Structure 1
Amino acid sequence: MNIVLITGSAGLIGSESVNFFADKFDLVIGIDNNLRQYFFGADGNTEWNRDRLIDVYPNYKHYVADIRKTDELTPIFQKYGNDIKLIVHAAAQPSHDWAAREPFTDFSVNATGTLNLLEMNRLYCEKAVFIFTSTNKVYGDNPNYLPLVEKELRWEISEDHAYFKNGIDENLSIDHTKHSLFGASKVAADVLVQEYGRYFGMKTGVFRGGCLTGPNHSGAQLHGFLSYLMKCAITGNHYTIFGYKGKQVRDNIHSYDLVNMFWHYYQNPRSGEVYNAGGGRYANCSMLEAIQICEEITDKKMNFSYSDTNRIGDHIWYVSDVSKFKNHYPDWNYSYDLKTTLGQIHDSMTARLVATV
């Protein structure tokens, strides 16, 4: 039997992984205890997505387990053992603002949880491919010291620095910078995943995501940029832009495109490898530009205001250079541009909001 095990399976990337791999593996095991609701309240509740997966995929098996507890993970890995061919680790505490509230919780989920899963991988299914959803926050504030130029609606890299014309690559230092506690816990996990590949020779891959997005995101104010923005656009709820004149740039990769990267890596894994994984030059926008697109899709003016105080650890300009991954896996490419993605988010969000009335 061929099995894929997915953590955070009711979240954005986890559920997209279930969608993607359900017809490629005999059994899909999902691990998710809806901790996102604890982090972000009702907006973060993923039960609707868990129930959808159970209803849609007959070969999906859900476990309500805590990745911080080896006594809850061990029976699962013991039961399925070497039948597990792929592990997609997408469970996380994903907000740098929230991490400062409960540093122990943040670190235990992001770092200790990752270590627990790596050990489960090593002890019970060593030949399985292990894919880790990391973050661009491992680079800390270093992107903010790049030469930037202010444009009408966005910050942009200076044309005098051609090295960054395609975005930020994996050579940017992760040292000598402020990360936020979230960034620090993800650095710890990121390096652990690399080390299990390099030290033990396991098939581990790190994907440092930009803004991960898609129609199945339970977006909240502290996490889920495009999803929460569109929710405010639809409902008329107030949205606050924090700092940088609203011109801060994020690249946005559709969850399908990211999981498709996972699929290409799985078929030809490189031990301990690291890839930047975002929308790159194909799909990026500033806050102001994203608001404009949301207003076009909803045909409504957004209710938003501006705060001069930027969030600690926020990037002014971040665009992923995905050249390394494309060089290693030339058959991969993007499928969803920014407007298509926002259109999907709008339709999915509208349907969910109607269903709750």
Structure 2
Amino acid sequence: MNIALVTGSAGLIGSESVAFFSEKFDLVIGVDNNLRQYFFGADGSTDWNRDRLKDSYTNYRHYKADIRKVEELEPIFKEYGTDIKLIVHAAAQPSHDWAAREPFTDFTVNANGTLNMLEMNRQHCPEAVFIFTSTNKVYGDNPNYLPLVETETRWEIDESHPYFANGIDEHMSIDHTKHSLFGASKVAADILVQEYGRYFGMKTAVFRGGCLTGPNHSGAQLHGFLSYLMKCAITGNHYTIFGYKGKQVRDNIHSHDLVNMFWHFYQNPRPGEVYNAGGGRHANCSMLEARILCEEISGNKMNFSYSDTNRIGDHIWYVSDLSKFKSHYPDWNWEYDLRQTLVQMHDSMVKRLQVQI
């Protein structure tokens, strides 16, 4: 039997992985205890998505296990053993704001939880491919020291800089910079995943995501800005834009496109690799530009305000360079642009919220 195991399976990337791999594996095992509701309250709950997965995929099996507890993970790995061919580790505490509230929780979920998963992989299914969803926050504030130019709607990198054409590559330093505690815990996990590939020869890969988005995101104020922005556009709830005049730029990748990157890697793994993974020059926007798009798509004027205080660890301009991944896997490409993604998010959210537009 061929099995894919997905942590954070009711979250955005986890649920997309379940849907994608349910057609390619005999069984998909999901591990998710809905800590996201603890992090972000009712807005962040993924129970609805867990139930959707159970109803939609007959070869999906859900476990409400805590990745911080080996005693809850080990029985799962012992039961399925070497039948596990792929592990997608997408469970995380994802907010740099929230991490400062409970550093122990943040670190044990992001760093210790990743170590637990790697050890379960090594002890019970060492030939399985291990894919880790890291973050561009591992680069800390280093992107903010690039030569940036303010335009009418966004910050942009100077045209003379090597990063202008394609964005930031994997050689940017992750050292000597402020990360936020979230960024630091993800750095620890990121390096662990690389080390298990390089030291033990395991088939591990790190994908440093830009803004990951899609229709199944449980967006909340502290995480999932496009999803939460669209939710506020639909409901009329107030949205606060923090710092940088709302001109900070993010690249955005649809969850399907990211999981398709995982699939390409799985078919030809390169142990210990690191890839930047985002919308690149194909799909990026400033907060201001995203708000305007959400208003156009929803047909509603947003209820929003600016705060002069930026979030600690926030990037002013970040666009991922995917050249390395595309050189290794030339058959991969994006399938969704920004507008397509936002329209899909809008339609899904209207249905989910039962809002009449």
Q: Deviations over 1:13-44 (max 9, x none)?
A: 00000010001000000000000000000000
Contact kept? 1:157, 1:165, Cα under 8 Å:
no
Q: Take 1:109 and 1:148, find their aligned partners in 2: how far apart are those partners?
A: 34
Matches within 5 A, 1:293-312: 293-312=293-312
Letter in 1 for 2:166: N
Partner of 2:147: 147
Matches within 5 A, 1:252-291: 252-291=252-291
Partner of 2:212: 212
Q: Take 1:24 and 1:298, find their aligned partners in 2: how far apart are those partners?
A: 35
Q: Take 2:124 and 2:164, find their aligned partners in 1: how far apart are those partners?
A: 42
SS for the counterpart of 1:162 is: coil
For normalisation by structure 1, the TM-score amounts to 0.99
Matches within 5 A, 1:1-357: 1-354=1-354
Q: Take 1:235 and 1:163, find their aligned partners in 2: how far apart are those partners?
A: 38
Shift of 1:80: 0.2
Q: Deviations over 1:39-73 (max 9, x none)?
A: 00000010000000000100000000000000000
Letter in 2 for 1:196: Y
Shift of 1:162: 3.1
Q: Take 1:318 and 1:282, find their aligned partners in 2: how far apart are those partners?
A: 13
Percent of residue pairs bearing the same amino acid type: 83
Letter in 2 for 1:281: R
After TM superposition, which residue ranges in structure 1, 4 or more long, deviate above 6 angstroms? none
Letter in 1 for 2:148: L
SS for the counterpart of 2:132 is: strand
Q: Take 2:243 and 2:228, find their aligned partners in 1: how far apart are those partners?
A: 18
SS for the counterpart of 1:352 is: helix
Q: Take 2:163 and 2:140, find their aligned partners in 1: how far apart are those partners?
A: 20
Q: Take 1:355 and 1:287, find their aligned partners in 2: how far apart are those partners?
A: 24
Q: Take 1:192 and 1:155, find their aligned partners in 2: how far apart are those partners?
A: 33
SS for the counterpart of 2:41 is: helix
Shift of 1:299: 1.0
RMSD over aligned Cα, in angstroms? 0.9
Shift of 1:173: 0.2
Q: Aligned in 2, Cα 1:31/1:355: closer, same or farther, shift over 3 Å?
A: farther
Q: Take 2:67 and 2:345, find their aligned partners in 1: how far apart are those partners?
A: 29
Q: Take 1:341 and 1:140, find their aligned partners in 2: how far apart are those partners?
A: 27
For normalisation by structure 2, the TM-score amounts to 0.99
Letter in 1 for 2:157: I
Contact kept? 1:139, 1:173, Cα under 8 Å:
yes
Shift of 1:355: 8.0
Q: Deviations over 1:99-138 (max 9, x none)?
A: 0000000000000000000000000000000000000000
Q: Aligned in 2, Cα 1:355/1:234: closer, same or farther, shift over 3 Å?
A: closer
Gaps of 5+ in 2: none
Gaps of 5+ in 1: none
Contact kept? 1:22, 1:59, Cα under 8 Å:
yes
Q: Aligned in 2, Cα 1:355/1:24: closer, same or farther, shift over 3 Å?
A: farther
Q: Take 2:325 and 2:96, find their aligned partners in 1: how far apart are those partners?
A: 27
